[in-house]
Amino acid sequence: MMEKIRKKNPMPFNLPRRLQRMGDLTYNLWWVWNLDAQSLFKYIDNLLWDEVNHNPILFLQQVQRPLLNKAVQDLYFLEKLDAVVEKFDTYLAAKETWFKTTYPDLEDELIAYFSFEFGLHESLPVYAGGLGILSGDHLKTASDLGMPLVGVGFIYKEGYFMQSISEDGWQDTRNYYLNFDEIPVIPLLDENGKPVMTSVDLPGRTVFARIWQVNVGRVELYLLDSDLEENSPNDRQLTSRLYSNDLDVRISQEILLGIGGVRALRLMGLKPKVWHMNEGHSAFLALERISEIIAAGKTFDEAAEIVKENNVFTTHTPVPAGNDQFPIWLIDKYFAQTWPKLNISRDQFIDLGRQAQSWGDSFVMPVLALKLSNQRNAVSKLHGEVSRGMWQWLWPGVSKENVPITHITNGIHTGTWIGRQMNDLFKKYLGSDWQDRADDVEMWNNLDLIPDHELWAVRKHLKRKLTIFCNERARKMWKSGNYHPIQVVASGVLMEPYSLTIGFARRFATYKRANLILNDYERLLKIVTNERMPVQIIFAGKAHPADEPGKLLIQQVYRAVKDARMGGRLIFLEDYDMNVARLMVQGVDIWLNTPRRPNEASGTSGMKAALNGGINFSILDGWWREGYNGKNGWPIGDHVDFQDTYQQDQIESRELYETLENEIIPLYYQSRSADNLPNEWIAMVKESIRSNAPLFSTQRMVKEYMKMLYLPATENIIENKPVKTKKGG
């Protein structure tokens, strides 16, 4: 069944004619990675732009009419506007993309990319963290490369949550309520103007979901939303929040994403050739595709073979307990109706997701995904090794090295994470098209052309921006009258832009060890408050609301932040989101990451810091194990894993302090040349950018997905002719 679908930008603005196209810009997230487009809004009203959290729709709704009228008279502005609009139109219409040139025969072969969350921008808060940011960066890059890809996920009306920290360091949470008139979502409607609805059968009822489209450059993202009159009050809440701890909600969401997502694409008449499950949450999509093929007359085994051929699965979890899984009774509850339809027994069904004996009895989504895809990958080299070990039992008799899970190391979308002034500098010395060649290793050698003083001026500017942000947030808190003075201090009122500044921002989960640097408290105190060579440390990050140990970790860090003896040099920035992340990765000198190896599958925030000239100082885990080359930053620990975690913390924290005291701090402060430039530090900044930026870009990453996984998944299609490619890609 395919419906006729209407899509029309809602356009809730009343703009002067000459500014109409600004309205178009707001309904495509292209502006998120085009700084010139953002400048248009900032130019009209810089303060409002910050006030509306960089949301251009809200901006155009709230901006004062006289300011718009003034813009209409401003030739400089109009010239900028026309240039941006032309760039936007050219981008959307482009014929010569990387994809079209490299794979001319594959233009019509659609790739469907399923993910539980998509982090595209802070003004569309439907993400929780790393997985979402990666999905968002994947879509943006697919758009840049001209890849025929669509995304499928959820719009969470209440987002993840907003965080504030109480005076005694406890994490308080508040929910958002998204106003759909203020976000760039386009409703998919049928001929009668009613929402197009997909549906799934859950125990005793059918649950419906409507579909919202978000334009991400040339890529379309479809977000499902169950808040419909047709559903019971409980089901209307189904897609309200991310990562519910209620297993009934979780499994219902995953059924809706996987099965409802396939049906949504069918409603639109789409026939993807490649189905990418980013993490196991969407693995039920394989079952829906099997049902479709069985309905066309094949057996379960035949259908499973066909489906596997063009499924791609990416695992992100290096620990068995971290894998998304459900108790067997819940599978009985939700799927008893399904196995007869698939012509298999209950046991055969349960076997599709059955856990290894030693891990207890549960139905594991990554197991389902691994069994029903022929293309599988982990997200860094080390994570590949760990994953092959973890899942070896699924391939009895196969040696660990030969377990068929490859790796594609994560990356970041350059245009999203680059600081404005750094972008200008790269344009000047690497070429105005440098972002299109972000994965070109040779190009980055031209960094040597940048004079030290210019690079250092940009670094100082970015740190000053971060400082001002912290100061202003603290000022707002103080002025609101709702905060204790100590909370104002903790927010960075005493932060200044001259000291060596370390950033630590990530989810507060215990394995990430935000408290490793507090291990020897007195030693840290000395380091931080050294009058000649002071150090500032900025912490940020949320704990999952149900993660008590994570919240205790925040409290422990906050206690140190509040300690007067630290002199206000430790800071906790509340409510870590993409905005805070951008300011931090662009502004700090050192990016610190101290996970318990090998628990960090990849990590990406350090890549963002490196792109902007921050230097990584981290455990050799995840991406940094590949990124560290002996001269582009500092390692903590060695290439070893520990059995005894207490011992591990002792050894690694000691090394952390030693490297800080003996190498990092002296290099930053003591190598000043006559012109007051820390030349050796700047040399390392250059090496950090040069070595990391091309390798850990999503340009490199998405091209690898194409070559290593999507292409085989396309070629595998049983009925299909083999595909020719012009060049290797």
Ligand X SMILES: *Cc1c(COP(=O)(O)O)cnc(C)c1O
Q: Which residues bind ligand X (CB under 6 A)?
A: 129-130, 133, 506, 576-578, 581, 603-605, 608
Nearer to ligand X, 113 or 696 (CB): 696
Nearest by Cα to 663 from 590, 717, 720: 590
| Contacts within 8 Å (CB) and 24+ apart, 91-100 | 91/30, 91/217, 91/218, 92/28, 92/30, 92/217, 92/218, 94/146, 94/218, 97/144, 97/145, 97/146, 98/144, 98/145, 98/146, 98/703, 99/145, 99/146, 99/147, 99/148, 99/706, 100/146
Q: Please give the distance of CA 337 from its chain centroid, rounded to a whole number.
A: 36
Q: How far apart are CA 692 and CA 688, in angstroms?
A: 6
Nearer to ligand X, 57 or 578 (CB): 578
Tell me how long the chain is: 729
Minimum distance from residue 524 beta carbon to ligand X (Å)? 22
Minimum distance from residue 320 beta carbon to ligand X (Å)? 20
Measured CA distances, 211 to 85, 155, 232, 710 (Å): 28, 9, 18, 26
Q: How far apart are CA 257 and CA 600, in angstroms?
A: 26
Q: Element (H or E) spanning 596, and its range?
A: none
Nearer to ligand X, 133 or 200 (CB): 133
Minimum distance from residue 413 beta carbon to ligand X (Å)? 10
Nearer to ligand X, 372 or 509 (CB): 509
With left for phi above 0 and alpha for psi between -120 and 50, is residue 59 left, alpha or beta?
A: alpha
> What is the DSSP code (8-state) at residue 172?
E
Q: Element (H or E) spanning 534, and its range?
A: none
Nearer to ligand X, 22 or 578 (CB): 578
Nearer to ligand X, 26 or 618 (CB): 618
Minimum distance from residue 605 beta carbon to ligand X (Å)? 3
Do 427 and 434 form a contact (C-beta atoms < 8 A)?
Answer: yes
Minimum distance from residue 133 beta carbon to ligand X (Å)? 4
Minimum distance from residue 120 beta carbon to ligand X (Å)? 11
Nearer to ligand X, 603 or 635 (CB): 603
As beta bridge partners, residue 672 has 678
Minimum distance from residue 604 beta carbon to ligand X (Å)? 5
Nearer to ligand X, 261 or 598 (CB): 598
DSSP string computed for 512-527:
G-TTGGGSSHHHHHHH
Minimum distance from residue 608 beta carbon to ligand X (Å)? 6
Minimum distance from residue 581 beta carbon to ligand X (Å)? 3
Strand-strand pairing, 274-278 and 205-216:
unpaired
Nearer to ligand X, 113 or 576 (CB): 576
Minimum distance from residue 506 beta carbon to ligand X (Å)? 3
Nearer to ligand X, 254 or 577 (CB): 577
Measured CA distances, 707 to 219, 702, 703 (Å): 19, 9, 6
User: What is the residue type of 612?
Assistant: N
> What is the DSSP code (8-state) at residue 356?
P
Nearer to ligand X, 288 or 577 (CB): 577
Minimum distance from residue 383 beta carbon to ligand X (Å)? 12
Residue with tokens 């002719």: 721
> What is the DSSP code (8-state) at residue 150?
E
